[in-house]
Amino acid sequence: MMSDTLKPSLAPPAARRDHGLSLGALARRPETGSFLGMLIVFAFFAVFGGSSFLGLGGAASWLNVAAEIGIVALPVGLLMIAGELDLSVGSVIPAASMTVAVLSGYFDLPLVVGIAAALALGLLVGFVNGLLVLRTGVPSFIITLGSLFAVAGLTLGISVLVTGSTGVALQTGPLGKALLGSFIGGMFQVTILWWIAALLAVGYILHVSPIGNWIFALGGDKVSARNEGIPIDRLTVQLFMGSGFCSAFVGISQAILYNSAQVSTGQSFIFNSIISVVIGGVLLTGGFGSVVGIAFGTITFAIVSQGIFYTGFDANWASLIIGVLLLLAVLMNNTFRRLALSATTSKGKAK
């Protein structure tokens, strides 16, 4: 029954599995396929990329890419588990970059103001997306496709109107630089730490807190979820706001990292985040997925897109590998999901 009592003897939330490994239990986990994929891709580039790929510099190059995509992929993944899509991330990122650069660079306001405004902008776009999806009943793919273009147009229009250019320089103080745009050890972007923080936060929401159960239920069967009393409207809006917020965060950190912002920099994030999420074992139609899987998917994607430079191959082939990888990942994930559904009660521990 509902036990609110804290039992000190119980293990921390990470130790959720209290039974031994069985094939069924393993197949049931959405990240099994993506973990194998990540290992294979890593091994492939370790062989062809050699020591420079395996060195610190190699690790930094794919971790930096993974961190930026990962911060966007996490909330996008939550939305996909809940059965929605968000394409607007592609224009929220440059919009947030421009907001912080225009306010704190062009107008010389304190950096905090610029950051707060940019994050608020992300939340607002997410709120509008969520509200439109709920009110119109139009699929979120279409709604966020619309807001992708609308926000891009607004960003371009307002930037040119206010600053007369499509790029704005941004000089930040040492604290802002250290927190959002610095390199640890000269190689590792500080964003990696933010990604880890985001992984922990989203991991808590999806797998530990009861809200995670609501997200799975929402993506599994919306009508039933509503009948069970889950506040699906509020939850949907919150999830869209989460992806707006995280996209804005990435936009801000890019502006601070590169000391400037451009009106058109985020388009690649749209598909890269979705690819990472899908490779990570999230079901496109919702109801299935895991945060660890999304992290593996993001790393896999980042290794492919960066690892190619360490091999002797022409970098033009990277997209081909990513395309094939995506298809393979989906097929493998489907196989594992079928296994999970057919895995009967593990006989070994049946009483």
Between the alpha carbon of residue 170 and those of residues 166, 188, 228, the distances in Å are 13, 21, 49
Out of 131, 145, 171, 221, the residue judged to bind another protein by CB under 8 A: 221
Q: Does 178 bind another protein (CB under 8 A)?
A: no
What is the distance between the alpha carbons of residues 219 and 82, in angstroms, rounded to a whole number?
A: 4
The nearer residue to another protein, 191 or 238, going by C-beta atoms, is 238
According to CB under 8 A, which residues from 327 to 346 bind another protein?
337, 340-346
In whole angstroms, the minimum distance from the beta carbon of 340 to another protein comes to: 6
Q: Does 9 bind another protein (CB under 8 A)?
A: no
Closest C-alpha among 69, 64, 62 to residue 271: 69
What is the distance between the alpha carbons of residues 65 and 50, in angstroms, rounded to a whole number?
A: 20
For 105-131, give one letter per residue: b (16+ CB within 10 A) or e.
bbeeeebeebbebbbebbbbbbebbbe
The nearer residue to another protein, 209 or 264, going by C-beta atoms, is 209
Out of 21, 161, 223, 327, the residue judged to bind another protein by CB under 8 A: 223
Tokens representing residue 191 in the block:
């964003």
Tokens representing residue 165 in the block:
């250019």
Contact call for residues 250 and 92 (beta carbons, < 8 A)? no
Out of 89, 92, 96, 217, the residue judged to bind another protein by CB under 8 A: 217
Q: Does 48 bind another protein (CB under 8 A)?
A: no
In whole angstroms, the minimum distance from the beta carbon of 219 to another protein comes to: 8
Q: Does 51 bind another protein (CB under 8 A)?
A: no
Q: Are strands 167-169 and 183-184 parallel, antiparallel or unpaired?
A: unpaired
Out of 75, 212, 280, 307, the residue judged to bind another protein by CB under 8 A: 212
According to CB under 8 A, which residues from 266 to 295 bind another protein?
283, 287-288
Q: Does 26 bind another protein (CB under 8 A)?
A: no
Q: Does 248 bind another protein (CB under 8 A)?
A: no
Q: Does 14 bind another protein (CB under 8 A)?
A: no
Look-up of token digits 């225009």: 102
How many CB atoms are located within 10 Å of the residue 32 CB? 23
Read out DSSP for 201-257?
A: HHHIIIIISHHHHHHHHHHH-HHHHHHTT--HHHHHHHHHHHHHHHHHHHHHHHHHH
In whole angstroms, the minimum distance from the beta carbon of 199 to another protein comes to: 16
Q: Which residues bind another protein (CB under 8 A)?
A: 1-7, 10, 13, 16, 18-19, 24-25, 28, 204, 208-210, 212-214, 216-217, 220-221, 223-225, 227-230, 283, 287-288, 337, 340-346, 349-351
